[in-house]
Structures are given as structure tokens and as C-alpha cells.
Amino acid sequence: MRRPLIGTILLTAAALGCESDPVLVPVDNPAAPRALDAYYYAGVVKVTWELGPGWDGETFRVYSRRVTDPDYFFIAEVTSCAAGLCSYEDRNVLAGQTYEYYVSAVDPTSGVETPSDYSVEVFVPQPVPPPVPLGLDVVALDNANYLRWSDNARDASDFALYRAYLDNGDGTAFLLGETDSEGFLDLLAGNGGTYTYFVTAVDDQGHESARGSAASGTPRPDYHGEWVYDFFAQPQLSGFRFQVDELANPIVSGGAPERHFRLETDAAGWWLVPGPGVAIYPNGFPTTALKCGVAADDGCLDVTRAPGSGYVPQDVALFAQTSYVMRVPGDDGQTHYGVIRVEMLGYDQNDNPLMIFDWAYQLQANNPDLSPPR
């Protein structure tokens, strides 16, 4: 709301002729601030205005009062503006009160002030944030984590957006970004590190909820369109070893001692044959994808967590559109989990049996999370 103000021209005394004969002469007023505005957001009233066309480097004074007060109070002096726009943030405000503001341009030499043509009123509401977002889940991807959560905060009529934070673990947090959907993709997360997050909800007046429950994710490499040959047809291209990055070739000889598995076929079918020190969970998991990531539909099925026990060091029958989990020795000498998803079992142009598959590998030792549950 705007209220008109009456500007006052101040006079200054100048001695002309002799000191006993002062003459009053008018002093040019500094240009009045223009386009005065003010609004409330997140516990702060921000007052903004524009430079007048005749502005000549003058500073500005901001005045305020509660509408129930008889007089204005000088609250701030602003000495610099950016691109013709000036602002001041008043944090000394109380909920449930209405405040009135005006701004004056001040000549630094004479002290003459020219107020804005009007004042503005701002009501400070009670800070009632939306509900805390529930059900945070982190899907570990390749060099990224995808956060998703419930839409319960939308029950608030004034809901505006969410804020996603990285929990530093020492009582501090880093704001990753804002979103108006129940999902956030953290592209700063790197493979092999565990990252912990929480989410808050914000209303249209900037009131932020308490933090929701934290959840963690550990990105790990996953690759698509790999293939190996049958050991009896192409032995040098039949073995596979999980790798920590895409620069290392995962295809090894089927007889290499460092292999994690090799492919074999016989009259009974196709077989996943474990390498030295490797154990395979004997039951495959029918899946629709290696992982159900950001754009996955509701019917997407993946393997979210490696089973805790039941692994066997023996051959396991292979079937297409099925995922298989392995417990393998890593380059660090510790136990790691990996998963492959068989896309196709078939033959090449020379009638050599081969398997095309996708794979993912958990870089953290003994961490069974292949991606958190949907």
C-alpha cells in the first residue's frame, strides 16, 4: 500500500558582503528516489527503489515505523546501488505487524533530504512453514545421486518449492539447489563416495520447514552394452572383471586368474561361471532395467541391494532380462558387490555364442547397496 509524502525544500545561509548581512538562498534538492517498493520474504522486509533522473551521487536514508507508531525512525543509510537499483533489507521486524517505509536522497554537503513521493506498507505474517517432506530416498547412479521423496508438503495451500541439502556431517549443510518437483539430481556426487542428504519445504513467503530425515547414496560405475563370448568359442574374449572406471577394459581372458566370471555354453544352456574367490547368488532376479533411475516408469524393476547371504562358488544358469548379483574380490583385496543384467543371449555372424549385458559395481568395500529401494 502506498501513502503520499510531502517533500520539503531546505534553505541554507550564505554570507554575502559582510557577516552581519546573511542572505538566505535556496539550495537545489537532490533527486527524489523513484519506484519505491517493499515486500516481505523469509523473515525479512526488502525495500527497493530506483535512482532519480537527476541523481548526482547522493546517499539515501531509509525510514520506517509501525503503522501504530506516531513517528518514523531512521533505520539505515545506503551509499551504493547496482545498475540504478537500490535496496535495503530490514531484518528487525516482528510477525503480525505492519510496517511503513520511505526513502530520502541526501546531499552529503548541505544535508538536504528529498523524500520519495510516497511511503509503502508491508505486513509481516506469522512464519508457518509447510510440512516436513517425508520418505527421502536416494538412488545411486553413475557419478550422480538421484533424490526423491513424498509429496506430503503439497498439502500446504501456500507450498512453493523444495530445497535439497548436502549434510556435511558436522552440523553444517550445503544447499545444492531448489526444485518444485519431488526429485533432485546431484551431479556433483562422485563414484565411490557416500553422500548424505536432507530436504526441506518452503512456502510462497519463504518460510522453510525443518529438515526431513536424512538418506545416503554411494554412486558407482554402471555401463551398458558390454558383451562376452562363450569360453569354448572365443576364450580370449569370454572373461569379465568389474572395473572402477570406463578407461579400464573389463573384458579379459576366460582363463585369467583375475576374472570375476566367464561365459560358458553347453547343451543345457548358458552359464555364468565364477572366477577365483567369486561367489554368485544362485537365483537371478527378473528385472526391466539394470537400475531404475531418474526417468523410470512405475513398472520399472531393478536389483536395489545385494542379498546378505546365500552366495555359492558354482555355475549359475543365465536367462535374458534377468539380473545376477556377485560377491567379488576387489583391487583393494576386500569384498565388493557387483550386478549384471543380461540383455540378450545369442550368436554373432560367425555363429559364436555371446552375451550382451549391462553391469554395475559398488566401489565401497562390503557395501551391499546397488541402488536404494524404490
Question: Residue 58's domain is classified under what CATH number?
Answer: 2.60.40.10
Do 118 and 81 sit in the same domain of this protein? yes
pTM of model > 0.95: no
Do 29 and 72 sit in the same domain of this protein? yes
Do 112 and 165 sit in the same domain of this protein? no
Given 161, 191, 217, which residue is the final one in a domain? 217
Total number of domains in the chain: 3
Given 63, 98, 123, which residue is the final one in a domain? 123
Of residues 80 and 313, more confidence is placed in: 313
349-360: average pLDDT: 88
Given 217, 233, 250, which residue is the final one in a domain? 217
Local confidence band at 146 (pLDDT 50, 70, 90 cut-offs): confident
Q: What value, to the nearest 5°, has the Cα angle with vertex 86 and ends 85 and 89?
A: 135
Contacts of 177 (CB under 8 A, 6+ apart): 163, 164, 184
Do 112 and 36 sit in the same domain of this protein? yes
pLDDT attached to residue 14: 37
Q: Is residue 263, in this structure, part of any structural domain at all?
A: yes
Do 165 and 184 sit in the same domain of this protein? yes
Q: Is 50 exceeded by the pLDDT of residue 27?
A: yes
Of residues 222 and 333, more confidence is placed in: 333
Query: pLDDT digits over 38-71, tens only?
Result: 999 999 999 999 998 888 888 999 999 999 999 9
CA 247 and chain centroid, separation = 28
Q: Is residue 373, in this structure, part of any structural domain at all?
A: no
Q: Is residue 372, in this structure, part of any structural domain at all?
A: no
Q: Is residue 268, in this structure, part of any structural domain at all?
A: yes
Strand partners, 40: 45
Q: Which of the 8 DSSP states describes residue 208?
A: B
What is the residue range of 81's domain? 2-123
Q: How far is CA 262 from CA 233, 318, 355, in A?
A: 12, 12, 10
Do 205 and 332 sit in the same domain of this protein? no
Do 34 and 85 sit in the same domain of this protein? yes
Do 182 and 236 sit in the same domain of this protein? no
Q: Is residue 370, in this structure, part of any structural domain at all?
A: no
Q: Is residue 69, in this structure, part of any structural domain at all?
A: yes
Do 93 and 195 sit in the same domain of this protein? no
Residue 277, SS3? Answer: coil
Do 237 and 265 sit in the same domain of this protein? yes
Interatomic CA distance for residues 314 and 339, integer angstroms: 16
Q: Is residue 131, in this structure, part of any structural domain at all?
A: no
- Residue 282 contacts residue 310 (beta carbons within 8 Å): yes
Q: Is residue 212, in this structure, part of any structural domain at all?
A: yes
Do 195 and 98 sit in the same domain of this protein? no
Of residues 68 and 26, more confidence is placed in: 68
pLDDT attached to residue 148: 85
Q: Average pLDDT, whole number, for the chain?
A: 88
Proportion of the chain above pLDDT 70, given as a percent: 90
Do 226 and 205 sit in the same domain of this protein? no
Residue 73, SS3? Answer: strand
